[in-house]
Amino acid sequence: MAETVETSRGTGLFKPGATMTASEVEVWFVREVLPMEAMLMHYLHQNWRNKSDIEDLRQEVYARVCEAAQKEVPEKTKAFVLTTARNLLINRVRREQIVPIEAVADLDELEIAIDAPGPERNAMARDVLRKLQGALDRLPPRAREVVTLRRIEGLSRPEIAQRMGISEKTVSEHLTNGLCALADMLYGDASDLRSKK
Amino acid sequence: MSAARDANAEAAHWLERREFESWCEADETELSAWLARSWEHRVAYWRLKDAWEHTERLSALRPVSPKAAAAPAPRKPFRPMLFRLVAATIAVAALGAGAAIYFSGGNGPRETVYATQVGGHQTVQLADGSKVELNTNTVLRARVGAHERLVTLERGEAYFQIAHDPKHPFVVMAGDHRVTDLGTKFLVRRDDKNLEVAVTEGRVQLDTPDGRLQSPVLLTRHEAAEVKGNKVFVTRKTALSLTNELGWRHGFLVFDHTTLADAVAQFNRYNQGKLVIADPATARLTMDGTFPIDGISAFTEVAQEVFKLRIERRGGNTVISR
């Protein structure tokens, strides 16, 4: 994935309207969409009351966005992600026969967020290292230990199991759970966003 | 359990396996099939994979021990006398080097350990007249005598110029792989995962004593083999790119359309204070140039001037970001 030379910040690597190969979609998703996750989560939390649906909604937005982007790269990623999220919420409301009255805060208000300022992508990138450390600090201690032993000391699964006195299966579980939690904190943590309000 | 949570858990499981287990073609096929099944699978996997790749930077956060940082003469090798033969060797060494070589009851020549620290560079002359240049952070064990010429590259990188002796092939072991010299000059580099062998003159043969490689790979001048997992990629290199790769022999790093990620990885091999790139887009920028091996400040200046990147010092490390 080293094929690109970027000379100035913010130049679009992906031409709006073009199609993408599967591996290009991955690069596009990681570069353009993942940095929007905190904003997307903020939006979903604001507009959908049932918190246990949020993870599903987020994933469905991603899936739809990628599927559409492969056929045609959207011009503005942020607007596209939020519009997709809004349409998804509206469809959910329509599809479900019984909708708790407070499920959607206010459909009219869904429009507004799209024009509101989003996170500054460069700022996010700059903060990755700090965020990473913060996220690591907040992991459950055993999961943190597994990640650290792997990444910093480069130990193998049996070595980690031995060092920590746990089974290899438990090592795997700590790593997979830790990874999911890390991703949530790395991308989805909207605390920066909220504190600006 | 929700669908998204299932997809995430499965994606995490794949990544965990890929991280810890030896990965073969069948695994790759299975993963591809799983990914092909739905967009939900793909986005879950891409997202977690990217998160995991971010954690790779943690390795750069490892605190540099003050002792190592203060080491005054990195170019001076230390020779840990780790091996059991050592007592016997020292006793015999008094009789002269020649005696030592034939000593030890038919066990072959004595073993000598050569090592360089981070930033180090050392040339050693072996008993058979062959020359070995050790690059940064390298450990090499040599048993070289009249009847046996065996060198084990424990870690790091070395450039070999072998004295010709068709009856006694010169063998370099690197992990599971064996490089057999057929009269030549060549480079062997290994890190945790990969092995590279590149030939500047003559020919070498690459194989595995345990037969894991089904047939040996023969490399001639300007050819290189990269071993990744159980695959071997053979490429032809230009004389220029090989010269660039060997720039360290003269104290230089040469970048030719090199990504910042690779350039930083190169500098980090040689220097205690690590460079860290804070975002993937920056890592993908490419550059040309020649820098002294310890020229981190020259490098960051270029990054600042040419790419308008931000340079920040954090502890002993330098963080590069947009």
* Cross-chain Cβ contact A1/B281 below 8 Å: no
Q: Is A36 helix (H, G, I), strand (E, B) or coil?
A: helix
Mean pLDDT of A11-34: 80
| Chain B residues inside the 8 Å CB shell of A62 | 39, 43, 47
So what's the pLDDT on residue B1?
53
* Residues B169 and B149: beta-carbon distance below 8 Å: yes
Q: Dump pLDDT digits (tens) for B292-315.
A: 888 888 888 888 887 888 998 888
Locate B69 and state its tokens. 């940082």
* Cross-chain Cβ contact A126/B321 below 8 Å: yes
- The region, left, alpha or beta by phi > 0 then psi within -120 to 50, assigned to residue B308 is left
Nearest to B293, CA basis, from B77, B118, B60: B118
So what's the pLDDT on residue B61?
46
Q: How far is CA B140 from CA A27, A42, B53, in A?
A: 40, 55, 31
* Residues B176 and B196: beta-carbon distance below 8 Å: no
Nearest neighbour of B58 by CB, restricted to A31, A52, A132: A132
Nearest neighbour of A55 by CB, restricted to B4, B281, B308: B4
Q: How far is A120 from chain B (nearest CA, A)?
A: 12
Over the Cα atoms of chain B, what is R_g? 23
ipTM of the complex, rounded to two decimals:
0.82
- For chain B, list residues with pLDDT below 50: 61-107
As a whole number of Å, the end-to-end CA separation of chain B is 40
Nearest neighbour of A59 by CB, restricted to B40, B261, B282: B40
Nearest to B15, CA basis, from A95, A180, A65: A180
* Residues B297 and B284: beta-carbon distance below 8 Å: no
| Chain A residues inside the 8 Å CB shell of B20 | 156-157, 172
The Cα A92–Cα A95 span in angstroms is 5
Number of helical (H) and strand (E) elements in chain A, helices listed first: 10, 0
Q: Return the residue of B nearest to A59 by Cα.
A: B4
**What are the DSSP E strand ranges found in chain A?**
none
To test the contact with chain B by mutation, choose from A20, A59, A121 the residue with the greatest count of B C-beta atoms within 10 A, namely: A59
Could you give the angle at which helices A54-71 and B39-55 cross, rounded to 10 degrees?
100
pTM metric for this prediction: 0.48
The Cα A186–Cα B120 span in angstroms is 37
Q: How far is A18 from chain B (nearest CA, A)?
A: 19
For residue B12, give the DSSP letter: H
Q: Dump pLDDT digits (tens) for A68-124.
A: 999 999 988 889 999 999 889 888 877 665 554 444 445 545 544 444 444 444 444
